[in-house]
Structure 1
């Protein structure tokens, strides 16, 4: 049986190298992939990595910056109010079907990169989320039973929000979600085959060492399978696209006093089996 592996990318922003982590080894994947992008997933790239895993060379640049584990996606689709406790803490009614909005794909940054507090922002908020990467085209799926076969893998996603821009300034949610650096992603993409049940994963987030979110994907209103099926009725999900599946309770918006993020704060987040990430807040 092939040894378990995950996908990552290392190097300076815009020039990351695709690598494979297998046990304690970091392997150079450039022999099998130019990047972990749409073409890679469309061409069954994870299967190709599995086939050549034993022949990949060690990556000479281990220790470099860790970038997002996939190249910039074609789109980032987000699901709002997908945990009942989060809906309750924000004073919202649990939605009868998924709340869908889009996030600028250029917001994706590495899991340890700085996050910029937008100019004029006083309400930048945190949200740990299960990120889903699409592995093959999903179009008008017949039922949720077909959906998980279209998932390439899972990653830790930080879907930051500016609540004033999102909720108080009118228009769509997107402008409170698409600020620069507002989607740290990774550290790794864990292939779907290594996640036994995406609805049984613990999610946690700390701000300056204080636990703020501690939830489980078992409390999602709409499962990953349901979300992928649902979205496929309204848009084509392409290989390499990302879905942010919602956040549990514990965001600043729902805490008395609303302790929003400020420059100098540090956020740490993790999901069972998918890794841990840390970001420092800096002023844009």
Structure 2
């Protein structure tokens, strides 16, 4: 299956049973629902997928379930504490049927370009799969500059795309100027979609799509088609929800939104805890008010 880095790619959440084991039955149902709504690929085992709380075997099993469920590329996130563990994950994902990888810097340890480049190269070269470089300095403290990303692409033929989550939309324009057609460019921040597409992004790895796939795909399609006024109206409605993806409890908030629309549970794995009290009341009010006004 050829991978085209275009369209809406859900950073899919990981559903849990009451005992906090992975709920593969709902995972398959959820993955199928996302694709039926028009999503072009799935990205499991990312930050929104609570990858830091999943064991390697669990991650590989999640990828295998997604592969069985859908006929679009499954592109899991590869993140680990050590380079050796990340390499094993990349190879395990390929064996499980992944059609691409989203490669992150190591958890916890962040250093200079010399060390981070060595880590990225080791993971990228451990597989034949096309790779997305995931730049998210807000979460991971490692900031890959456009020049460094292009350097990785020049040295590795299977570096095919970038998920840019620095929150600086100028990075997309800079990457486009430096890389030309070598790299597909993706928006990795929910509330920068219109700005990112205007700067040249061809895909959106999104969070709120887990609860609202039809609206997400519609928004992306309008933006790519240059239907600016209609896109702006939909975007303005969507922004209060999209901003839920930009705060520390984004996983809890997105899973709560899924629960409210009847597509999932609010369960999370510790150290995350479900929202409660005034925080839960406030979140529910925002979500339900937004949903009541949705235009589609």
With structure 1 as the length reference, what TM-score do the two structures score?
0.23
TM-score by length of 2: 0.23
